[in-house]
Amino acid sequence: DTAVSQTPKYLVTQMGNDKSIKCEQNLGHDTMYWYKQDSKKFLKIMFSYNNKELIINETVPNRFSPKSPDKAHLNLHINSLELGDSAVYFCASSHPRESSPLHFGNGTRLTVT
């Protein structure tokens, strides 16, 4: 069973469209995250939710809106997609305590044309 699964794996869309990426974890973790990995492989945190509550909201455009319907799911909705949004988006989960390792999904490669 996949611990952290995200869909779709690939997403190709045009500028201006709205798209969503879904993430689910079956590890029983309370904390979930969205990270963005750019073309230079830098992984940057975007959002963190703990038990459905937003904990971290980095400097991310308002066009990005996370939604956590329950603690096992964290979806990412992106409005008015721009070329610069092209990247790989990773969902992750962990226990909320300090030093807990992150468990990542396999990423969603978003290409905006």
Partner 1 sequence: SQKIEQNSEALNIQEGKTATLTCNYTNYSPAYLQWYRQDPGRGPVFLLLIRENEKEKRKERLKVTFDTTLKQSLFHITASQPADSATYLCALDEYNQGGKLIFGQGTELSVKP
Q: Does 103 bind partner 1 (CB under 8 A)?
A: yes
Taken in order 76, 79, 83, 84, the sign of the CA dihedral is negative
Instruction: Name, in order, each residue with C-beta under 8 angstroms of 99's C-beta and a sequence gap of 6 or more.
Output: none
The contacts of residue 64 (CB under 8 Å, 6+ apart) are 46, 47, 76, 77, 78
Within 10 A of 86 (CB to CB), how many other CB atoms are there?
17
Nearer to partner 1, 48 or 75 (CB): 48
Rounded CA gap, 75 and 22, in Å?
A: 4
105 binds partner 1 (CB under 8 A): yes
48 vs 68, which CB is nearer to partner 1?
Answer: 48
Q: Is 101 in the site for partner 1 (CB under 8 A)?
A: yes
The single residue among 78, 102, 110, 112 that binds partner 1, judged by CB under 8 A, is 102
**Binding of residue 43 to partner 1 (CB under 8 A):** yes
Q: How far is the CB of 93 from partner 1 (least distance, A)?
A: 11
Site for partner 1 in 44-63 (CB under 8 A): 44-45, 48, 50, 55-56
Roughly how many angstroms between the first and final C-alpha of the chain, as a whole number?
Answer: 34
Whichever of 102 and 110 has its CB closer to partner 1, that residue is 102
Binding site for partner 1 (CB under 8 A): 4, 31, 40-45, 48, 50, 55-56, 90, 92, 94, 96-107
